[in-house]
Structure 1
Amino acid sequence: MTTRSRTAGPILLAATILVGLMAGTFFIFACAVMPALSRSEDRVFVQVMRDINDVIQNPLFLLAFMGALLLSAAAAWQSRAEPHRWWTWSGCAAYALVFLVTVVVNVPLNDQLASATGSATAARADFEDAWVAWNAVRAGLSVAGLGLLAAALTVRGRR
């Protein structure tokens, strides 16, 4: 048994778990956090989002966020000659898009909100709709990535 084959299953499983955690994070924002905050007055909305964006930058979240990308890429690489490779590569690609959307869209919106100096109403107007829409994209892509990686685990387990 090669090193690759001994580590392939655990790496794919860990990638699937981490992508699942990220899917849950984006999902809960889409279906609970942001709808609840939408009921808040502008000042409260802006302050709570600033607080969330501050506290979410912690080692545990970063481990899951970065680990999902790195482990799904490692799992994809390890599966390159396996029957489940298309599932794994597709799951990795879906999560890579999540990562890209986060870095290119959501983080800059967070930074813009953090540095906004005008009224809370203007800051919210420049932030909320775009952030919510792109978070929904992240939620959908990460759920798809989770499903694809779970399918890879299933196909891999059948051999």
Structure 2
Amino acid sequence: MAITFLLGGARSGKSRRAQELAEQVSPDRTFIATAEALDDEMGRRIARHQADRGTGWQTVEAPLDLVAALGSAPLEDAILVDCLTLWLSNLMHHERDVDAESESLCAALEMMTQPVFLVSNEVGLGLVPETKLGRAFRDAQGRLNQRVASVCDVVEFVAAGLPLRLKG
């Protein structure tokens, strides 16, 4: 089964695209959520995404342990991971070894037998972040995106709701 990676900017339509693709390949689906509702605004975003998904989705919360969540999904399910950007932010916030976690993720992806759809932000198209932490995050996100793209069968860049096939 194909591993598909969807990249784009904020509000680009990448999550919607990933959801549509997952719904096309299986009636049984697992949504792996990496976001945490740390404030009201994020809580509203999460609720909107849940409402958009509707029925047919099982949700697994995995702000840090993404590899374990992937491994626990039923074998007949299509899996949607939304998103790697928040996962990376969580890892950095909790001072986890980002390189080791990224390698573990990619190794797990290479072993998957069901379709997986991964969503991530492309953060390297804008201004250079002003802070050291912002630059470290942007650099880590760029490395993670490159590493994940290398193990995926399909990579799409989504802008204005329109997908552009980069690989596969």
Fold in common (TM above 0.5): no
Flag the structure with larger Rg: 1
